[in-house]
Every structure is written in structure tokens, then in C-alpha cells.
């Protein structure tokens, strides 16, 4: 299966939030701590992306970076898909 | 049931044996030609397997019996090099590949292959004596034999029938597993032993058919036994005694629990040996179950580390799964896959569940699950199950990815990969 678009990744992120009884704001600059998006949620999002694309993401490829905002998550997953 | 027997093993020689649609007795089973000794008899049906056992009981032939599918070509080579003639049984016809190593037989020796769940199957030596763990006089019963020939659980039922009067057998071939309740009801099966997976599959397929079997004794073993399956069976069979047994080729039948509860009482740990030496000694080292058992295999005297993980819940000791696969480390927080599975299985709409670790970023591993639903109980989504688990488990123990399967997977050993 081909890579997911940024919008598709955002949809999946919204599903992760919804499953936790939370809502994903539309603003990419929203702070992850403030919206309650935790490391377990990020990990779940990665697994959802893997299930959608039918392939494992290579987390070793990109360098460590700060992921503080919604946009950072979307950037990072986009980058992982093409790594 | 009178007259002289060559061995006490043949006390049950006139017990009824239903196999392949025929009603026979041990005595009237077809006879195998004189077997070489040692012999590894590979079978494709229950009748040949029972015939090999009776041959052993009469002649003392050093014997390993297993299904052909469990013994691949490499293992057949190994058996030949270990002194076994490999016999492919096929009713009245059979083929023999002579042993490559000539050695003196161990008369009376029976060999079992371990299930191989922890790697390649190993050979464990027993005798009919060490395999016969039920010695007291039993109520007359007709036992179901759904197990694969040659496994410890199979030997348990088979030796019971061979060594006790009035203990009949109804053998279920692999092709009959889906419809066994009909066969069992037809032949009046009153006792059945199976893995939790076997029981779940049966309930899942056709509870009504199962309820028509006149079961008085239900036994579970071979896998961790959770409270949900015990309760469900008790609902269907309120009059039956429901037992679970912890047994393995290595330590034999070591824990037998009849109180209808999962796990065993904590008070059973580290008890003084009984004067007869019949009672296994149970202990826990770290979180591993350790057993010294009088029913052990040859050369396995003393304390045996089982590799099974236990957890204390109230006054019970629960066996949650294999140590090497049960513990899931989620970002430094450890959770037992077996306990998560129990929570899922407690959901009324879940017929079966497997819990496992999935590699994940940031936390290293995450809890994931595969689930088979009981479709009679309405539509259930993964979000429903996540919510169910969230209310009962720490957040790191909640399976975040749940995949629904159409049916319960099962291996030849009647176990699933849980």
C-alpha cells in the first residue's frame, strides 16, 4: 500500500484521540501536553499507520527530534514513511 | 474383567473403545504386527495409536507414539540415529525404517515428545507406571479423547482407560473435531478433557450441541485456564465437576484443582512432603513456578523450573503464561499478557483472545490483541474493548491495537498461540 497523506495521518491521529475520549484540535500548533497526547498515543498512532500501509516504519532512520506539537507528529510520521 | 493379566496395565482390556466409528474394546482393537524395539510408531489415526499402546502394554516394547505430522523428516533421522525403528502405521499395513543405531532396548519405556512450544520437541522418558497418575477407584465413565496421539494429555486419558475398569474411550479424530459433541452425545460420553482453546471453540461453534453431551466431569489443561471459561462451562453444565490440571511431559500431572476457580490456593506452596511422596511440591522462585513431582519424566528428579510465570491474586496463584513470552515491557512498565488476556476474556462478547507485544516507537513494545467475538451478543467494536480494558487495567496494559479474527485458531495440540 502507498504512503499516507498528511490528512490521512491526521485522521488516524484523531481516531487515537477519540478512543481516549479526547478531540484533536485542527490547529497544527496545538501543544501535545495540553491536548493530552502522550507517548502511548504516539506509539498507537505509529501502529495504526503501519497497519494502514502494511509495512513497518523505520524509527531508526530519522534523527531524534523534539515532538511537542501536533504538526511535529504529522511531520515525523510523514518523514518515517519515506525513510 | 477377570482372569490373569500379563500386567496390571491391562485391567481395562474390556473397556469400550469407540474409534473411527467402530465400537470395540482394547482387547478387540486390531493388532499391530510384532514391533521392533525401540520403535517410534507414527500414526494418522487414533486406532493405530491405541493399538501401539496395547502392544506396548502386552510386550513391553520401548515405544514412542506420535502423529506423522508432528515428526518431520529431520526428526525421523534423529530417531533412527537414537536407536528407534521408525514405523509408519496404517491399519493392517505398515512400513518400517530400521534403526541406524543398534542398542539394547529399555523394556517398558515410553517416550513422549514435548509440545515444542519452547522450541524443537524434546523426548521425555516415562513408563506406563509414571504416566498413570489416577490410581484410586473411579466412577464408571466414558472419556472423550480429542488429544493428538502421543501427547502427555492423550497418555493421561489412555492410561486411565487401560489401567482402570469401566473407563471407556471415544476417540475423536482431527477431522471430527468440529462435530465432536454429536459423536460424544451418541456414545454417551460423560467425561471430557481438553485445552481451554478446545472448549472455547466448541462453545463458539455450537453451544446447544455441547449441552446435549451428558458430561459429569470436565477437565481443562495444557494452557493457562482463566475464570471466564470455567464459569461458562459451569453455566452449561451446572451438575458437572469442573477441574483443571497443570501437567507437562516433564513433571507429569502436578496440580489438580476441583473448586471451579482459576489458579490454585496460595496455601499449596511450599508444603511439607506427604508421607507417601505422592504429592508434588510446588514453589515459586521470582515469578516462575517450580515443581518437584513424583510423576516426573526419567532423569528429571528434583525441582524443575517450569518456565511458566505465576502471579498472586488474593489467595490464589494464577499461572499466566510462559515466562519468555508473557511479560510485555511497555516503556519500562511491565504487564502480563496472560492477565490482559483474562480481562479481554471476561468481556461477555469475547469468545477467544490472544495478547502479544508489538514493536512500537517511544515505548519499545505495546500491548496488542487478536480477538474472536461471540456474534450472538451483538456488534462490538475495538473501541468498546479498549474501553472495557481501560476500566480494568493500567494504561500501559490496555491493548491499543485489536484485530478481529473470523474463527479461533487451533494447533494440532488443541492449543492456540496464547
The CATH number of whichever domain residue B397 belongs to comes to 3.30.300.30
DSSP strand pairing (B123-127 vs B141-145)? unpaired
- How close A30 gets to chain B, by Cα (Å)? 20
pLDDT value, residue B392: 92
Where do the H-state alpha helices sit in A1-83?
A: 6-19, 32-35, 39-53, 70-81
Closest by alpha carbon to B414, among B177, B161, B237?
A: B177
Query: Residue B190, SS3?
Result: coil
Residue B217: inside a domain: no
Nearest chain A alpha carbon to B361: A43
Q: Do B362 and A42 touch (CB under 8 A)?
A: yes
Nearest chain B alpha carbon to A47: B360
Residue B89: inside a domain: yes
pLDDT over 90 percentage in chain A: 55
Closest by alpha carbon to B287, among B243, B319, B265, B259?
A: B319
Nearest 10 degrees: CA dihedral of B134, B138, B142, B147? -10
Nearest chain B alpha carbon to A67: B362
Q: Give the B-side interface with A, CB within 8 Å.
A: 330-331, 358-363, 366, 368, 383, 386, 395-396, 400-401
Rounded to whole angstroms, how far apart are CA atoms B89 and B93?
A: 7
Residue B310: inside a domain: no
**Comparing B418 with A69, which gets the higher pLDDT?**
A69
Of B130, B146, B180, the residue that ends a domain is: B130
The residue extents of the domains of chain A are 6-81
Mutate to test the interface with A, among B331, B361, B368, B383 (most CBs of A within 10 A): B361
Q: Do A40 and B386 touch (CB under 8 A)?
A: no
Rounded to whole angstroms, how far apart are CA atoms B322 and B66?
A: 24
Of B130, B152, B185, the residue that ends a domain is: B130
B361 interaction partners in chain A (CB closer than 8 Å): 42-43, 46, 57, 59
**B267: its cell numbers:** 496455601
- How close A42 gets to chain B, by Cα (Å)? 8
Of B95, B111, B130, the residue that ends a domain is: B130
> In the CATH scheme, what is the homologous superfamily, with its name and number, of domain A6-81?
ACP-like (1.10.1200.10)
User: B142 vs B132, B134, B193, B216, B294, CA distance in Å?
Assistant: 17, 15, 11, 10, 27
- State yes or no: ipTM above 0.85: yes
A51 interaction partners in chain B (CB closer than 8 Å): 401
Q: Where are the beta strands (DSSP E) in B114-195?
A: 123-127, 141-145, 167-171, 191-194
Q: Do A43 and B386 touch (CB under 8 A)?
A: no
Nearest 10 degrees: CA dihedral of B277, B279, B280, B285? -110
Question: What is the interface size between A and B, counted as CB pairs within 8 Å?
Answer: 39
Query: Residue B97, SS3?
Result: strand
According to DSSP, the residues that pair with B191 across neighbouring strands are: B143, B217
pLDDT value, residue A61: 53
Low-confidence ranges of chain B (pLDDT < 50): 1-6
Pick from B330, B396, B401: which is nearest to A47 by CB?
A: B401
- How close B358 gets to chain A, by Cα (Å)? 8
Query: Which distant-in-sequence residues (6+ apart) come within 8 Å of B14 by Cβ?
Result: B1, B25, B26, B27
Inter-residue contact A17 to A42 (CB < 8 Å): no
Q: Do B331 and A40 touch (CB under 8 A)?
A: yes
Pick from B368, B383, B396: which is nearest to A40 by CB?
A: B396
Question: Quick one: pLDDT band at residue A81, thresholds 50, 70, 90?
Answer: confident
- How close B36 gets to chain A, by Cα (Å)? 53
**B99: its cell numbers:** 534403526
Query: Which distant-in-sequence residues (6+ apart) come within 8 Å of B385 by Cβ?
Result: B344, B347, B350, B369, B371, B399, B402
Structural domains of chain B, count: 2
Q: Do B331 and A47 touch (CB under 8 A)?
A: no
B401 interaction partners in chain A (CB closer than 8 Å): 44, 47-48, 51
Residue B236: inside a domain: no
pLDDT value, residue B97: 95
Residue B289: inside a domain: no
Closest by alpha carbon to B399, among B362, B368, B365, B363?
A: B368
Residue B351: inside a domain: yes
pLDDT value, residue B206: 85
The domain containing residue B353 runs over which residues? Answer: 324-404
Amino acid at each position: 500500500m502507498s504512503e499516507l497523506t498528511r490528512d490521512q495521518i491526521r485522521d488516524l491521529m484523531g481516531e487515537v484521540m477519540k478512543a481516549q475520549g479526547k478531540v484533536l484540535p485542527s490547529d497544527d500548533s496545538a501543544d501535545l501536553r495540553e491536548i493530552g497526547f502522550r507517548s502511548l498515543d504516539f506509539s498507537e498512532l505509529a501502529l495504526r499507520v503501519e497497519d494502514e500501509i502494511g509495512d513497518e516504519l523505520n524509527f531508526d532512520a530519522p534523527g531524534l527530534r523534539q515532538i511537542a506539537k501536533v504538526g511535529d507528529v504529522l511531520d515525523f510520521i510523514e518523514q518515517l514513511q519515506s525513510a | 474383567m477377570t482372569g490373569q493379566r500379563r500386567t496390571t496395565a491391562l485391567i481395562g482390556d474390556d473397556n469400550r473403545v469407540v474409534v473411527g466409528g467402530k465400537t470395540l474394546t482394547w482387547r478387540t482393537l486390531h493388532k499391530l504386527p510384532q514391533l521392533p524395539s525401540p520403535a517410534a510408531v507414527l500414526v494418522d489415526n487414533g486406532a493405530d495409536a491405541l493399538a501401539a499402546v496395547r502392544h506396548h502394554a502386552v510386550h513391553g516394547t520401548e515405544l514412542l507414539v506420535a502423529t506423522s505430522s508432528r515428526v518431520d523428516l529431520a526428526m525421523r533421522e534423529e530417531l533412527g540415529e537414537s536407536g528407534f525403528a521408525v514405523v509408519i502405521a496404517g491399519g493392517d499395513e505398515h512400513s518400517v525404517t530400521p534403526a541406524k543405531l543398534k542398542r539394547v532396548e529399555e523394556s517398558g519405556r515410553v517416550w513422549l515428545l514435548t509440545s515444542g512450544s519452547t522450541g524443537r520437541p524434546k523426548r521425555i522418558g516415562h513408563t506406563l507406571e509414571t504416566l498413570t497418575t489416577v490410581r484410586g477407584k473411579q466412577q464408571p465413565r466414558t472419556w472423550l479423547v480429542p488429544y493428538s496421539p502421543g501427547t502427555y494429555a492423550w497418555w493421561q486419558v489412555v492410561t486411565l482407560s487401560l489401567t482402570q475398569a469401566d473407563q471407556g474411550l471415544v476417540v475423536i479424530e482431527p477431522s471430527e473435531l468440529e462435530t465432536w459433541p454429536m459423536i460424544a452425545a451418541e456414545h454417551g460420553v460423560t467425561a471430557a478433557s481438553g485445552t481451554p482453546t478446545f472448549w472455547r471453540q466448541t462453545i463458539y461453534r455450537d453451544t446447544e450441541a455441547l449441552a446435549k453431551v451428558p458430561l459429569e466431569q470436565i477437565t481443562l489443561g495444557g494452557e493457562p485456564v482463566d475464570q471466564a471459561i470455567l464459569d461458562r462451562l459451569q453455566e452449561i453444565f451446572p451438575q458437572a465437576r469442573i477441574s483443571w490440571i497443570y501437567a507437562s511431559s516433564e513433571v507429569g500431572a502436578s496440580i489438580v484443582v476441583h473448586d471451579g476457580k482459576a489458579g490454585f490456593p496460595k496455601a499449596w506452596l511450599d508444603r511439607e512432603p506427604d508421607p507417601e511422596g505422592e504429592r508434588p511440591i510446588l514453589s515459586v522462585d521470582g515469578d516462575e513456578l517450580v515443581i518437584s513431582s513424583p510423576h516426573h519424566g526419567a532423569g528429571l528428579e528434583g525441582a524443575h523450573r517450569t518456565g511458566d510465570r505465576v502471579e498472586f491474586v488474593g489467595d490464589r496463584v494464577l499461572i499466566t503464561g510462559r515466562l519468555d513470552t508473557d511479560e510485555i515491557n511497555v516503556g519500562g512498565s511491565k504487564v502480563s499478557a496472560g492477565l490482559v488476556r483474562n480481562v479481554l476474556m471476561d468481556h461477555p462478547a469475547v469468545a477467544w483472545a490472544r495478547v502479544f507485544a508489538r514493536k512500537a516507537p517511544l515505548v519499545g513494545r505495546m500491548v496488542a490483541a487478536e480477538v474472536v467475538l461471540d456474534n450472538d451478543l451483538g456488534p462490538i467494536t475495538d473501541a468498546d474493548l479498549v474501553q472495557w480494558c481501560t476500566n480494568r487495567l493500567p494504561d500501559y496494559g490496555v491493548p491499543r491495537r485489536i484485530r478481529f479474527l473470523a474463527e479461533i485458531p487451533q494447533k494440532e495440540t488443541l492449543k492456540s498461540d496464547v
